[in-house]
Homo-oligomer: A and B are copies of this chain.
Amino acid sequence: MEFVDKLNIYREKINNSLDQILQVQEPKLLYEPMKYIIEIGGKRIRPMLCEIFYRMFNGEKDKVLYPALAIELLHNFTLVHDDIMDDDDKRRNKPTVHVKWDLAVGVLAGDGGVSLAYKVLLKEKFDRSDQIIDIFTEGLLEVCEGQGFDKEFETRVDVTEKEYVNMINKKTSALLAVSAKIGAVCANVDRETVEVANQYGRALGLAFQIQDDYLDIAGDEKLLGKTYGSDVQKGKKTYLYIKAKEKLAGEDLNKFNEIIEKENATRDEILRVRDIYDRNGILDETNTEIIRRIDLAKEAIDKLSKNYDTQELKEFTEYMLNRKF
């Protein structure tokens, strides 16, 4: 079977299970938006990653399902609040919860979702349940910290690469690391192996987020499902922004600053920024950084005992690198 077909089977199982969990009950104003945000979809990479790690370590079949689903729920419900904080109208081409309903419903659905995520996490008991809940909770706190840094960066123009990496390590990598670690802990592996899972998740997350920054301006516009160049429009402190501030000079720097500082840059202006990134080697450099981070993820895989079949995880890593949107 092709790896992508295997992923589709995983994804379908995850989506079916999420459907079962998200039965609408009273009050509808809480459960309908919770169901909505899950139904508008997603790649489900976090629960897949959790399952892949668990299976690689020969975990008892299917026992990891609830923790994997809990991570996906947590991820989606933090996105509902992210959309409020970033004032985003659309997610995956659909209106965001606070736009389709209202602000209060958006806040509430996110909160209800976090408690539902914990509820699902607690459904299955493991030898090391305490550790699983600790990892999950630390992950949520890290996501909030990452969001806090991101928000602080909005009013700064001097964010360093180190600060940026620290921010995305929390905002994006934390939950990927949680997925890998929980898969490992559920399978009852030793502490060193859990740490390798952590390293893998961290590296993958950094690659993934830098790739997200890249695709927002250099990806396939039709496939993106959100506004093309939205990071430029918002003056977001992305990897490309930070490299631009480091490398640009003269006319390019002036033009870049002018466009990035205004609200709602036009399509032409976004393409102009893309051209500036391109001509100054920033797109290339970003691509190189993505590959470097993916290589770190692969190095983590190579640290694992030869007793484990890492084929699926390697394929997953390639799959993550090859996305175009």
For A123-164 the 0/1 string (1 means CB < 8 A from B) is 001000110011001101100110111011000000000000
Which of A50-58, A112-120, A238-246, A305-313 has 4 or more CB atoms under 8 Å from chain B?
A112-120
Query: Is A189 positioned at the interface, with any CB of B under 8 Å from its CB?
Result: no
> Which residue of B31, B118, B129, B141 contacts A116 across the interface (Cβ within 8 Å)?
B141
Assuming the contacts A116-B141, A119-B137, A141-B115, asked whether A108 and B147 have C-beta atoms less than 8 A apart, the reply is yes
Closest partner residue, chain B, to A105 (CB atom): B151
Closest partner residue, chain B, to A112 (CB atom): B144
Query: Is A104 positioned at the interface, with any CB of B under 8 Å from its CB?
Result: yes
Which of A6-14, A22-30, A267-275 has 4 or more CB atoms under 8 Å from chain B?
A22-30
Q: Does the CB pair A78–B118 fall under 8 Å?
A: no
How far does the alpha carbon of A149 sit from the alpha carbon of B104 in the complex, in Å?
Answer: 12
Query: Is A296 positioned at the interface, with any CB of B under 8 Å from its CB?
Result: no
> Which residue of B26, B30, B137 contacts A144 across the interface (Cβ within 8 Å)?
B30
> Which residue of B85, B130, B137 contacts A129 across the interface (Cβ within 8 Å)?
B130
Query: Is A84 positioned at the interface, with any CB of B under 8 Å from its CB?
Result: yes
Assuming the contacts A119-B137, A129-B130, asked whether A148 and B30 have C-beta atoms less than 8 A apart, the reply is yes
- Measured between beta carbons, the chain B residues less than 8 angstroms from A110 are 107, 111
Residues of A within 8 A of B (CB): 26-31, 78, 81, 84-86, 103-105, 107-108, 110-112, 114-116, 118-119, 122, 125, 129-130, 133-134, 137-138, 140-141, 144-145, 147-149, 151-152
How far does the alpha carbon of A148 sit from the alpha carbon of B27 in the complex, in Å?
Answer: 6
CB distance from A125 to the nearest CB of B (A): 7
CB distance from A126 to the nearest CB of B (A): 11
Q: Does the CB pair A27–B149 fall under 8 Å?
A: yes
Q: Does the CB pair B112–A138 fall under 8 Å?
A: no
How far does the alpha carbon of A114 sit from the alpha carbon of B84 in the complex, in Å?
Answer: 18
| A-B residue pairs in contact (CB < 8 Å), sample of 26 | A27-B145, A27-B148, A27-B149, A27-B151, A29-B148, A30-B145, A31-B148, A81-B111, A84-B103, A84-B107, A108-B144, A108-B151, A111-B147, A112-B144, A112-B145, A114-B114, A114-B140, A115-B137, A115-B140, A115-B141, A116-B141, A118-B133, A119-B137, A119-B141, A129-B130, A133-B133
> Which residue of B78, B84, B112, B119 contacts A148 across the interface (Cβ within 8 Å)?
B112
How far does the alpha carbon of A112 sit from the alpha carbon of B170 in the complex, in Å?
Answer: 13
CB distance from A129 to the nearest CB of B (A): 7
Q: Does the CB pair A122–B130 fall under 8 Å?
A: yes
> Which residue of B28, B85, B140, B152 contacts A107 across the interface (Cβ within 8 Å)?
B85
- Measured between beta carbons, the chain B residues less than 8 angstroms from A116 are 141
In this complex, the member of A26, A30, A129, A134 whose beta carbon has the largest number of chain B beta carbons within 10 angstroms is A30
- Measured between beta carbons, the chain B residues less than 8 angstroms from A86 are 104
CB distance from A116 to the nearest CB of B (A): 6
CB distance from A123 to the nearest CB of B (A): 10
CB distance from A83 to the nearest CB of B (A): 10
- Measured between beta carbons, the chain B residues less than 8 angstroms from A114 are 111, 114, 140
Taking A81-B108, A111-B144, A122-B130 as known contacts, 4 extra A-B pairs with beta carbons closer than 8 A to each other, sorted by chain A number, are A84-B107, A107-B110, A108-B144, A133-B133
